[in-house]
Amino acid sequence: MKSMYHGSTNNEEVLSWGAEAIIVKTAFMELPAVKKIRVPKSYRCRELDISLRKRRTLLEAKLMFYSIKNGVPTPVVYFIDLVNTTIVMEYIEGKLLKEVISGKDLSSVAVFLEKSGYYTGLLHEAGIVHGDLTTSNIMIREPAGDITFIDFGLGAFSKDYEDQSVDLHLFLRSLESTHYSIAYEAFKHFIKGYSKARGENIAKKIQSKIKEIRMRGRYVSERKRKYEE
C-alpha cells in the first residue's frame, strides 16, 4: 500500500504490536520516522471504535505538540492521518530509561532521573499529564543524552494535582517493579528535578498526594488496618 505521506514503503518494520496500536518504523520525506497506527478493533461497536480511535489519535498528537511548545521534548509530529488513525512522528535514536538504569550504579544515572523529573515538572506546569509515566516511556537520546517522553496515548490536558500525583506515583511504581534495589533513592533524584521545575511548595503538595493515593484500595495494608482494627 503506497500512500502520499511517506517517501518509501519498502523498508517498513514493525517495532511493536501493543494492545491499542502498532508501531512501525518507516520514512517520512526521507527522514527516519515512526508510525503509530491505531488499528480497528473488530470486537468493538463500529461507531464507538471509530470515534475512540479518532479522538485518541488527535488528543495524542495535540499533547505531543503542546509538550514541545512548552519545552518538553517528545518526538516531533510529522503527519496525522485521521482516516487511518495514524500519527507519523520522528524516529528517536536512543535507549529507554529502563534499559539505561538497569544494572547501573545509581550515581551514574542520577542525572537522567533528575532530568526526567525536571521535564515532568514542566509538563505539569503546562497543564499536561502523561498518563503512563514509566521508565519504559522515557527515552535517552544517543549520543547527546537528552530526555524524550514517548507514548502519550493515555495522556490528558489537566491541571489537577490528583492527576499529576498519579503520574508521579506510576513512575515510582515502575521503579519499584523493575529497579527495586534503587527505587527510593532514584525517586529522590526524580523529585529533586521535579521541584526545580515546580517549586518546593507544589512539589511537597504533590508528594503528600502520592501518600494519599498509596492509602487507597489497591495499595492495601495501611488502609486495611483502619477498617479491620
Partner 1 sequence: MRKSSEVVVLGIETTAHTFGVGIFSNKRGLLANINDSYIPPEGGIHPREAAEHHASVAHEVLAKALSTAGLSIQDISAIAASFGPGLGPCLRVGCSVARALAAYFEKPLVPVNHCVAHIEIARYLLKVKDPLVVYVSGGNTIIAAYSDGRYRVFGETLDIALGNCLDVFAREIGLNFPGPPILEKYAEKGKRYIELPYVVKGQDLSLSGLLTKGLELASGGVPLEDLCFSFVETAYDMVVEVTERALAHTRKKVVVLTGGVARSKLLQRKLKEMCSSHSVEFKTVPKEYAGDNGGMIAYTGYLCIKHDITVPIEKSYIKPRWRLDEVDVPWFDEQ
The type of residue at 80 is I
Q: Least distance from C-beta 121 to partner 1, angstroms? A: 21
Helix axes 183-198, 200-214, angle to 10 degrees: 140
209 in Cβ contact with 216 (< 8 Å): no
Applying CB under 8 A, among 25, 41, 141, 196 the residue interacting with partner 1 is 41
What is the per-residue binding string for partner 1 in 161-200, x denoting contact by CB under 8 A?
A: ---------x------------------------------
Whole-number Å distance between alpha carbons of 221 and 229 = 12
**Which residue's entry shows cell 461497536?**
45
Candidates 43-51, 64-72, 77-85, 142-150; binding stretch for partner 1 (CB under 8 A): 43-51
160 is catalytic: no
What is the DSSP track for 14-61? EEEE-SSEEEEEEEETTEEEEEEEE---TTS-HHHHHHHHHHHHHHHH
Binding-residue total with partner 1 (CB under 8 A): 23
The answer to whether 227 contacts partner 1 (rule: CB under 8 A) is yes
Applying CB under 8 A, among 7, 11, 14, 44 the residue interacting with partner 1 is 44
What is the per-residue binding string for partner 1 in 98-137, x denoting contact by CB under 8 A?
A: ---------------------------------xx-----
Q: Least distance from C-beta 44 to partner 1, angstroms? A: 5
Whole-number Å distance between alpha carbons of 117 and 122 = 9
Candidates 117-125, 181-189, 207-215, 217-225; binding stretch for partner 1 (CB under 8 A): 217-225
CA distances from 215 to 18, 50, 219, 223 (A): 31, 38, 6, 5
Q: Least distance from C-beta 38 to partner 1, angstroms? A: 12
CA angle 173, 126, 210 (to 5 degrees): 30
Applying CB under 8 A, among 52, 58, 59, 77 the residue interacting with partner 1 is 52
Neighbours of 165 (CB within 10 A): 21
For binding to partner 1 (CB under 8 A), which residues are involved?
Answer: 18-20, 41-49, 51-52, 131-132, 154, 170, 218, 220, 224, 227-228
Active site (catalytic) residues: 132
